Amino acid sequence: MKFLVTGGAGFIGSAVIRFLIDETDHQVLNVDKLTYAGHLESLEPIADSDRYQFVQGDICDADLMQQVVDEFKPDRIMHLAAESHVDRSVDAPGEFIETNIIGTFNLLNAARKYREESGIEDFLFHHISTDEVFGSLGDDGFFTEDTRYDPRSPYSASKASSDHLVRAWGETYGLPIVVTNCSNNYGHYQFPEKLIPLMIMNTYNQKPLPVYGDGSNVRDWLHVDDHARALYLVVTEGKAGETYNIGGKNEKTNLEVVQTICDLMASFNPPTGDFNYRDLITHVTDRPGHDFRYAIDTTKIERELGWQPLETFESGIEKTVEWYLGNQAWCEAVSEAYSQERLGLKNAK
């Protein structure tokens, strides 16, 4: 089949494309704007494949999206292009509204027109979203596919809006769609504004490790390769009109994550003298509206599609730390224009 992947130069998108090229015989067209978080270096392992193509483009350009869809004639659209960093959404929500809502609207229109005019029957629009649309959990319970939406940040509100648009195009226009909502991803090739790669790089450089609040906020961690496998199962075997939640079943507090990274760094890169990597941990002002806990019930995707995560947090985080230590050139290249300045506070009350 022919797969059109938006945001394929990003963290999760590049993992999906590497999977498609390495593990299947499908053709792939990657459409990416190449913002600060999109890097073709993440696709170098498969860039020479004759089944891979790249188009630099903005999903907010409706005419270009229609042209790309009409010319490539995809069987599957996997929509991953999005602004995704919560802190950035606090400072600059407009970019999130444009990309995550208007961009999704443009793609849906392009897909609908293409399907109606081409008469293609075996077609699916797969929208990849986040568990943050569900809001915040207390100490107990899990997000399911039926959990009420309760977004708390500009980022999660924009993703919730795009989820609703996708389902509306399915109901109103009969566009075959499927939606997935995932927990926090981690792994290789993740831009270092996110918690885990930032902590790894700061630990390596013996810089402060900023932890929001008391570090008790809980996330369910999903290795990006496990996520890529799940997404492929959904887009090839999932049922149109359905939603599937994808999680790693690895709940950890933010402080536990950072402490684990410190301990792994001590193993991989032993410090000298009395220095202890954990001494770099610095508690800073919490993020405005910081959701307390996310956790996903993966029963549906396990039962219906037979998916299970292969990585535990312990195995996945060890591989991730080792990868970043062995790929400092990639880290430095993608971080050239990234000052690591704290975001998400200047416009908060």
Q: Which residues form the catalytic set?
A: 131-132, 155
User: What sign for the dihedral angle of Cα 289, 290, 292, 293?
Assistant: positive
**Which value, to the nearest 10 degrees, does the dihedral of the CA atoms of residues 173, 243, 30, 64 take?**
30
d(CA 194, CA 68): 31
What distance in Å separates the CA atoms of residue 258 and residue 156, rounded to the nearest whole number?
Answer: 24
Residue 105 and residue 61 in contact, taking contact as beta carbons nearer than 8 Å: no
Alpha-carbon torsion (97, 212, 222, 326), positive or negative:
positive
**Dihedral over alpha carbons 237, 239, 242, 243 (to 10 degrees):** -10
User: For residue 119, what are the CA distances in angstroms to 114, 116, 122?
Assistant: 8, 5, 9
Helix (H) or strand (E) segment spanning residue 198: helix 195-204
Please provide the DSSP assignment of 282-301 as one string.
EEEPPPTT---B--B--HHH
* Closest to 148 (Cα-Cα) out of 181, 173, 194, 191: 181
Asked if 78 contacts 4 with a C-beta cutoff of 8 angstroms, the reply is: yes
Contacts for 7 with CB less than 8 Å, ≥ 6 apart = 13, 31, 32, 38, 79, 80, 81, 82
Residue found by looking up tokens 């130069």 in the block: 9
User: Measured in whole angstroms, how far is the alpha carbon of residue 39 from the centre of its chain?
Assistant: 14
